[in-house]
Amino acid sequence: MKTLKPLLFLLLGSFIFLTSCRTEDDVSIDPPTEQTLLSNSAVADLMKKTSKNDGSFDNIIDNASCFNIALPVTVIANDTEVMVNSLNDYQTIEDIFDADKNDTDTLDIVFPITVVFSDYTTSDVTTYPDLLALIAQCPEENTYDDDIECIDFQYPISASIFNQNNDLVETIVINGDKDMHDFIDDLDDYAAVTINFPITVILADGTSMSINSISELQTVIENAEDTCDEDDDNDYNDDDCNNCTTNDFETIFANCTNWKVDELELNDNHLEDQYSGYVFSFESNGTVTVTENGNTITGTWSVSGSGNNIDFTIDIPNLTDFNGTWKLHEIEKESGETKFELEKGSESELKFKSNC
């Protein structure tokens, strides 16, 4: 009996010692199911599609939405060399093309270049025929592709990694779409993964939404998937007013009172010289006053719609060249000058300018 007691205490002490050797980081934790992300699940697939590389933003150069050309790249636009170092430089190319509506726009790429595909893999391209071969593999304009562009993650996002014993072994930080895409690809390497909610997503209209669970994230992405124009086409002019609203006219008409005709093209006929002395004043009550050599004409204007689908309607007696419903193409604000450009069909254009 005396010999048994010390042995019992020794065994008990050893058990206490061994169990106390687990570090705090190795404590077994059951990953919360409402935060657990499973490989090959529907929500993992949606997250991967949302984080794919969208190649349509540089279609003015490559006419391909399934990849983009890595920057920097040099191009020759209408005989003008442009070094494209940032997103702003795509606008420089567009401005060169828009400078003359009646010429034939040309663009040459200086090779070699590197292209980045939707999964962020890259390929070096040394000739134009090689580039054309890659372009031919892309879906046609405005056809289905599997990237989701109408919702974005707001980074950083953190995730917790667990081993087979439910031990928390690592917390990783995801800092961008490529990180997210790689993270989803690697889910099979982990025993269990949780997203550390809440996270924030940005919807197509620019509003942000806080997400608190995996199931909520799946629902939000599914609902947002087809809520915007992904702009997977080669018309670089069709998105110049993505963020335009009817309130923009209230602002520019309040700040700028005297407007002149900068361009007027009807069915390919240029008529702006006929109206060089006309001054237009657009009032907030929907009236427009036109003066020319001491003569005054009063008409009406109205605006409706949003984004790239804003209608601007003019009705001025005896000025039929201006009357009708036009589509807003673009509002340009520069130092000391504001312009707004209207279009009617593909062959008629009206641009007003004010020095304000």
pLDDT tens, residue by residue, 209-253: 999 999 999 999 999 998 886 565 555 665 567 778 999 999 999
pLDDT on residue 234: 55
Tell me if 338 sits within 8 A of 326, measured CB to CB.
Answer: no
Region 176-183: mean pLDDT is: 98
Quote helix, strand, coil % in the chain, to nearest 5. 25, 35, 40
Residue 79 has pLDDT above 90, yes or no: yes
Sequence letter at residue 181: H
Sequence letter at residue 279: V
Residue 302 has pLDDT above 90, yes or no: yes
pLDDT on residue 8: 38
Task: Report d(CA 194, CA 192) in Å as an integer.
Answer: 7
pLDDT digits (tens, 9 = 90+) for 253-288: 999 999 999 999 998 889 999 999 999 999 999 999
pLDDT on residue 25: 45
- Show the DSSP H helices in the chain as ranges: 4-20, 42-50, 59-62, 88-98, 128-135, 177-185, 214-224, 247-255
Region 319-342: mean pLDDT is: 92
Residue 34 has pLDDT above 60, yes or no: yes
Tell me if 59 sits within 8 A of 47, measured CB to CB.
Answer: no
Residue 36 has pLDDT above 80, yes or no: yes
pLDDT band at 42 (very low <50, low <70, confident <90, very high): very high
User: How much of the chain, in percent, has pLDDT values that exceed 70?
Assistant: 86
Sequence letter at residue 185: D
Supply angle C-alpha 93, 347, 232, rounded to 5: 45
Tell me if 356 sits within 8 A of 256, measured CB to CB.
Answer: yes
Helix, strand counts (H, E) of the chain: 8, 21
User: How much of the chain, in percent, has pLDDT values that exceed 90?
Assistant: 69
Least confident range of 24-28, 41-45, 104-108, 228-232: 24-28
Region 85-103: mean pLDDT is: 87
Domains present along the chain, CATH in parentheses? 23-51+149-224 (no CATH), 55-135 (no CATH), 247-354 (2.40.128.270)
Q: What's 28's DSSP letter? A: B
Q: Which residues of 66-82 are buried (b: 16+ CB within 10 A; e: fewer)?
A: bbbbeeebebebeeeeb
pLDDT band at 46 (very low <50, low <70, confident <90, very high): very high
What global pTM score does this model have?
Answer: 0.68
Region 350-355: mean pLDDT is: 96
On the question of a cis peptide bond just before residue 156, with omega within 30 degrees of 0, the verdict is: yes
Least confident range of 19-23, 194-198, 219-223: 19-23
Q: Which two tokens stand for residue 119?
A: 């999964």
pLDDT band at 11 (very low <50, low <70, confident <90, very high): very low
Residue 92 has pLDDT above 60, yes or no: yes
**Cα–chain center distance at 195:** 24
Tell me if 348 sits within 8 A of 280, measured CB to CB.
Answer: no
Region 166-181: mean pLDDT is: 96
pLDDT band at 330 (very low <50, low <70, confident <90, very high): confident
